[in-house]
Amino acid sequence: MLRVYYPVDPPSDPLQEEYAAWELLRARLDPQIELTTGTRLPFPAEYQILVSGRPTADQLDASPVLHTLLIPWAGLSVPTGELIQQYPHLAVHNLHYNAVTTAESAVMLLLMAAKLIVPVEQRFRQHDWRPRYLYPNPSVMLHGKTVLILGYGSIGKQVGKICRAMGMRVIAIRRSLEVAALDDPDAEVYPASHLHHLLPEANVLVITLPLTEDTRSLIGAAELELLPENAILVNVGRGPIVEQAALYQALKEGRLHSAGLDVWYRYPADEESRANTPPADFPFHELENVVMSPHRGGGSMEVDLLQMEHLAEMLNLAAKGQPLPNRVHPKRGY
C-alpha cells in the first residue's frame, strides 16, 4: 500500500469548479494507493509521498517513511527550494500538466507579435482601415525563419513541434543534452555555452526557462544586440531572465521587431492590488510592438482536469515501483 498525503481540503459540493477534477483523481488512482487529504496532519503520519508545492517543515518531518515530495505543478519556488535542501534524502518531482497550454500561448504571442495584430485590431474596432494599406507591410513571415528556444523541456519541445509545423527551423539550448537527444533525436540542441553563437541565427527567441541564479538576467543588452534585424522575442518562462531596461529600450528603439510577454517583473501583492499593478518599471503598455499577457499562459478550461490526470499517472507509477519523471534538483532551482 502506497500512502499519499495531499494537504488541501477537496471541494464537497458537486457544483464547485474543482469537484470534477477531484473525482477524476479518485477514479484514476490505483487501488493500492491510500490518499489522505485535509490541512490537518494525519495521525499516525505514515505517508511515503507528500503532494505539495509549498510544504511546511512539519509536513516534511511528520512521517518517518516520507521519501518523495511531489510538487503538483511545474517550477520550484525559492522558499520551497531553500527548505527542501534540508532534506537531501527526499526525491522531488514536478508535474508538467500545463506544458501544452503554455506552449500554445507562446505560439499565440509569437503570431500576434509577428503580425502586430494588437494595434491593428484596436484601430479596426474604430472602423479604421488604414493599417491594411501600410507599405511596406510591417508584419513578419515566420515560415522559413529560425526560432531559438531557451529551455528545451516539456514546454520548449511543444513550442518546437508547433514551429516546425509552421515551416520554421528549430534550434534550442538545454542543460541536459543527453536527455534532449533521447526525447527528440532530430532536434538541433546545444549547451548553454553556445548562446552567443546561436543568437545571430535567431529570427525568433522563445524563452521557456525557469528562473535560477544562472538564468537571471541571462538576456541583456549585449544578447539582444546579437539578434538579427527584425527579431521577435517571446517570454513564457520568467520575467527577470530578460533585463527589463534592455528589453524596453530595444523595443522602443525598434532594434527588436516585437515581443510577446506573458511573464513580468512586478506582480500584485494582494487581491486588492490585482486591479491596478504595473507589471514592470518601464511603460511597456505604451509600445505598440508588444503583446502583453498577465501570466496566464498555462491556463485553460481543462487545466484542473489535466492536473489531476497527470497527478494520478504519477502516483500510479510510484505505486507500481516505477521511476518517476520530472526530477527536480533543488540546488539548481529546477
Contact 102, 297 (CB under 8 A): yes
pLDDT of residue 271: 94
Q: Which fold has domain 2-98+301-328?
A: Rossmann fold (3.40.50)
Residues 42-62 have a mean pLDDT of 96
pLDDT tens by residue, 195-224: 999 999 999 999 999 999 899 999 999 999
Distance, CA of 310 to CA of 318 (rounded, Å) = 13
pLDDT of residue 184: 66
Distance, CA of 201 to CA of 148 (rounded, Å) = 8
pLDDT of residue 232: 98
pLDDT confidence bin for 78, thresholds 50/70/90:
confident
Is the pLDDT at 121 greater than 80? The verdict is yes
Domains of the chain, by residue range, sit at: 2-98+301-328, 99-292
CB burial of residue 191 (10 Å; 0-12, 13-18, 19+) = exposed
pLDDT tens by residue, 262-299: 999 999 999 999 999 999 999 999 999 999 999 999 99
Distance, CA of 319 to CA of 334 (rounded, Å) = 24
Q: Which fold has domain 99-292?
A: Rossmann fold (3.40.50)
pLDDT confidence bin for 179, thresholds 50/70/90:
low
Grid coordinates representing 42 are 494525519
Lowest mean per-residue pLDDT among 93-102, 108-117, 172-181, 317-326: 172-181
Residues 7-17 have a mean pLDDT of 88
Is the pLDDT at 181 greater than 60? The verdict is no
Q: Which pTM value belongs to this model?
A: 0.91
- 266-287 b/e (C-beta count within 10 Å ≥ 16 → b): eeeeeeeeeeeeebbebebeee
Share of the chain above pLDDT 90, in %: 88
CB burial of residue 20 (10 Å; 0-12, 13-18, 19+) = middle
Q: How many CB atoms lie within 10 A of CB 214?
A: 13
Is the pLDDT at 187 greater than 90? The verdict is no
Phi-psi region of 321 (alpha: psi -120 to 50; beta: other; left: phi over 0): left
Distance, CA of 150 to CA of 235 (rounded, Å) = 10
Q: Do domains 2-98+301-328 and 99-292 have the same CATH topology?
A: yes
